[in-house]
Structures are given as structure tokens and as C-alpha cells.
């Protein structure tokens, strides 16, 4: 029996029981589509996080008060023996040559009001260097002025806050109240949306010294340092740690590079993608059981046909190959349909969430395709061996 004859014979057998074959094919298709969709979701999450970090710059060093041992993940809570102060920031600016820009960050929550309108907002105290370090854009007016030794009572509003407090009005030049402080609006940030879980459009920005007095803080929340080049990042980190150790008489700060955080998150999300693919692949095993059941029933129904093949001279291996071909064709067709459905489902997902760069990784597509064929071959072996063992005379005598 030639290969063409074998495939034609197997195809006629499958089309002879269309409903049964279609249901088995559907089981494989669902399994493959699930692998494609879930791995695309995991890969999309990993790409989204990577893009978020890249948009913030790859040569940024983050200094936090408190020493926390970390291997790349986001650090947890630790003791804070010494404050991270504005004097420390100035020491870093003067003492670390590779620093291009440096910006402090003090945060808190306060009520902002204009006339009868008011709402609670997160308040960030910083300096003008934050504009360049975080690649912010001012839509109207200007950002915080350069430090001149004075503390101007000025504020830059996020887009959402400006729209809610000043509907139809230009907020620049207006005076708002933040808690007990009267401050003049000098600018409105361009819409930035949500990045790294933070909605920048709801923040208001004030000078850092004002924010620290407003919230009665003596320590900064973060210091963001932009290094001249990515290659100097590790050197700058070591220099900052050495300088602050000398000032505080101990190493009581945590210095993180965005690369370290990104590497940790990528490892977590990569493992999540593998886990999602593994969970989805379980459905392929279930589909394989369905194929085995279909083939076992097919062997039972075609006993006389098998006996006739053997009586005409078909060998045991030829009979085995006939039933294995049917199982592999069934699973292979299911794999093709599953891939098509999976890619369509990914496009639908992107349509609902345009910001998510969902795309199934190549390894998942190849693995799902190969696994679907292996499922057909693996679960088709038992029925095929059962058909192979039938004796011609006994098979032909069955009714």
C-alpha cells in the first residue's frame, strides 16, 4: 500500500463518521487554541512591562532609604536608620561625576480645591530634572522652575485633575488650595496615562521642599539618578553607595537599576507564560483520550474490514499504519484549526486591549503544533495495535 493510498484510505474512514471525527478534531483545536491564546497573553504582559520600563529610560538609578537585600525584584520593607535627605542629593550631584541629572521625590496625599470643586490627589514633590528623567511633557504653561534658593508656591497639574477642577477654563495662572497651602498653577502635564500601575494624570507636582513641609517629612521617598550612559550605570551605583555609606556611617540605602528590576519581572512573567502554556496543554491530553476512544470504536466497527485487509495480504505493520494515519490526520487537522482560532482570538484580545502587545511566542506555536501530532500518534497506538493483532479468519467471521 503506497503512502497516497494509505492517506486516501484513512481520509475515507474519517469522513465516513463525520460527527465523531469532528468532535475529536474540535477537542484538539480547543487545546491548541488555548495554548496559543494563553501564551500570547503571558508574552503580551512581559512585553508590556518591558515597554513601560524602556519608556522610562534604561540608564536610571533609583535610590531608596533603607537597606533591603534584593536579587532584582521590587524590594520590600526594611529599616530606615537614617533619612535620605536633600543634602545627600546635593552630595551625590557633586561627588559622582557620571550623574547627568538627579531628581528627588517626596509623595503624599492631600485635597486640592478650586472654588467649590475639590478632590483628593497624590502630590509629588520634585525638581525640574524630573521632567527629563521621566520624559514628561508639558501640555500648557511650564514645569517647575530651576532651584534658586526660594520656594515658589507653584503647582503643575495632571491632565485629569486640570479637567475636573477647570472644565472649559485655562488653569494656568489660577490659584488653587492644596490642604492649607495656596498655590499658583504654572502648568499642566500632557496626558501620560497609567504606567507601572501609576496614573500620572492624577498627580499634582510641587517643589520638593514644599512637599516635605506639607507632609512633615524629613526623608525623601526616592532619588532618581540619570547616568550619562548605560555603560556607566554599575559604576555610578557603586559610587553612590560608597558616598552615602561615608555620609551615614553605614550602607542604609538600596540602589536599584531598572535593568535589575526588569530582569526580575521578566523571569517571573516568563515562568507565568510557561505555566499558562502547560495548563492549556492539559486540554490536549484530554483531546487525546477522545481520539483514542474514537479509534477504539472504529476498530470494533471495522473488524471485518481489517480481516479482509489481512486476507488480501496486508501485513501487521500496514494495518498499524492505517489506524495511526487516521489518528495523526485527525489531530493534525485539529492543530491547524486550533492555530487559526488561536490567532483570531489573539487579534480579538488586542482589539479589546490595544495597549497590550499580545503575540504568541514562536516556541509556543511550534510546541502546540508538534504536541497535537504527538497526541494523535501517542493515543492512536493502542487502537492500532489492537487492530494489528486481529486474526483474519476470526475477524471475517464476526458479525
State the DSSP code for 251.
Answer: -
Whether the per-residue pLDDT at 393 is higher than 60: the answer is: no
User: Would the pLDDT of 130 be above 60?
Assistant: yes
- What is the total residue count of the chain? 399
Q: Please, which residues have CB within 8 angstroms of residue 385's CB and are 6 or more apart in sequence? A: 320
Q: The whole model's pTM is what?
A: 0.59
Phi, psi of 108, rounded to the nearest 5 degrees: -170, -175
Within its chain, how far is the Cα of 326 from the centroid?
Answer: 39
Residues 6 or more apart whose CB falls under 8 angstroms from that of 367 comprise 35, 277, 281
Return the minimum-mean-pLDDT range out of 73-87, 202-216, 315-329, 369-383.
73-87
Q: How far is CA 380 from the centre of its chain?
A: 38
Q: Is the pLDDT of residue 157 over 90?
A: yes
Cell digits for 387?
Answer: 487492530
Res. 303: pLDDT tops 60: no
pLDDT tens-digit profile of 181-223? 999 999 999 988 776 567 888 999 999 999 999 999 889 999 9
H/E stretch holding 201: none
Among 87-96, 116-125, 197-206, the least confident range? 197-206
Distances (CA, A) of 152 to 106, 107, 145, 373: 17, 18, 9, 70
- The predicted structure's pLDDT at residue 43: 83
CA distance 357 to 341: 18
- pLDDT (0 to 100) of residue 282: 79
Q: Which residues pair with 108 in a beta bridge?
A: 123
Contacts of 204 by beta carbon, 8 Å cutoff, 6+ apart: 112, 121, 122, 123, 124, 155, 156, 157, 158, 161, 178
In this structure, the strands spanning 181-189 and 154-157 are parallel
Higher local confidence (pLDDT), 168 or 265: 168
125 burial via Cβ count (<10 Å: 0-12, 13-18, 19+):
buried
Contacts of 80 (CB under 8 A, 6+ apart): 65, 66, 219, 252
State the cell numbers at 369: 503544533
Whether residue 258 is predicted with pLDDT greater than 90 in this model: the reply is no
Amino acid at each position: 500500500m503506497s503512502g497516497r493510498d494509505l492517506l486516501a484510505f484513512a481520509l475515507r474512514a474519517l469522513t465516513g463518521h463525520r460527527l465523531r471525527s469532528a468532535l475529536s478534531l474540535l477537542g484538539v483545536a480547543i487545546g491548541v487554541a488555548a495554548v496559543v491564546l494563553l501564551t500570547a497573553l503571558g508574552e503580551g504582559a512581559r512585553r508590556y512591562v518591558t515597554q513601560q520600563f524602556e519608556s522610562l529610560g534604561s540608564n536610571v538609578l533609583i535610590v531608596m532609604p533603607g537597606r533591603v537585600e534584593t536579587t532584582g525584584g521590587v524590594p520590600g520593607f526594611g529599616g530606615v536608620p537614617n533619612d535620605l535627605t536633600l543634602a545627600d542629593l546635593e552630595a551625590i550631584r557633586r561627588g559622582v561625576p557620571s550623574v547627568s541629572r538627579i531628581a528627588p521625590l517626596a509623595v503624599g496625599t492631600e485635597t486640592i480645591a478650586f472654588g467649590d470643586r475639590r478632590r483628593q490627589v497624590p502630590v509629588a514633590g520634585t525638581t525640574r530634572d524630573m521632567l527629563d528623567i521621566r520624559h514628561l511633557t508639558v501640555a500648557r504653561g511650564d514645569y517647575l522652575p530651576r532651584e534658586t534658593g526660594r520656594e515658589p508656591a507653584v503647582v503643575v497639574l495632571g491632565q485629569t485633575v486640570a479637567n475636573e477642577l477647570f472644565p472649559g477654563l485655562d488653569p494656568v495662572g489660577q490659584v488653587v488650595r492644596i490642604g492649607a497651602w495656596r498655590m499658583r498653577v504654572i502648568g499642566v502635564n500632557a496626558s501620560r496615562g497609567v504606567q507601572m500601575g501609576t496614573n500620572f494624570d492624577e498627580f499634582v507636582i510641587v517643589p520638593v521642599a514644599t512637599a516635605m513641609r506639607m507632609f512633615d517629612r524629613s526623608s525623601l521617598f526616592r532619588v532618581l539618578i540619570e547616568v550619562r550612559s548605560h555603560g556607566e550605570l554599575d559604576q555610578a551605583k557603586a559610587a553612590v553607595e560608597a558616598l552615602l555609606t561615608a555620609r551615614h556611617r553605614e550602607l542604609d540605602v538600596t540602589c536599584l537599576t531598572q535593568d535589575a528590576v526588569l530582569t526580575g519581572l521578566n523571569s517571573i512573567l516568563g515562568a507565568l507564560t510557561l505555566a499558562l502554556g502547560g495548563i492549556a496543554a492539559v486540554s490536549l491530553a484530554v483531546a487525546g483520550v477522545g481520539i483514542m476512544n474514537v479509534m477504539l470504536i472504529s476498530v470494533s466497527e471495522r473488524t471485518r474490514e481489517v480481516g479482509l485487509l489481512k486476507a488480501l495480504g496486508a501485513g501487521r505493520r500496514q494495518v498499524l499504519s492505517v489506524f495511526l494515519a487516521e489518528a495523526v490526520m485527525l489531530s493534525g487537522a485539529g492543530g491547524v484549526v486550533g492555530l487559526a482560532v488561536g490567532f483570531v482570538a489573539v487579534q480579538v484580545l488586542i482589539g479589546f486591549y490595544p495597549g497590550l502587545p499580545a503575540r504568541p511566542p514562536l516556541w509556543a506555536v511550534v510546541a502546540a503544533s508538534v504536541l497535537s501530532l504527538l497526541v494523535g500518534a501517542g493515543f492512536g497506538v493502542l487502537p492500532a495495535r489492537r487492530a494489528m493483532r486481529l486474526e483474519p479468519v476470526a475477524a471475517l467471521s464476526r458479525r
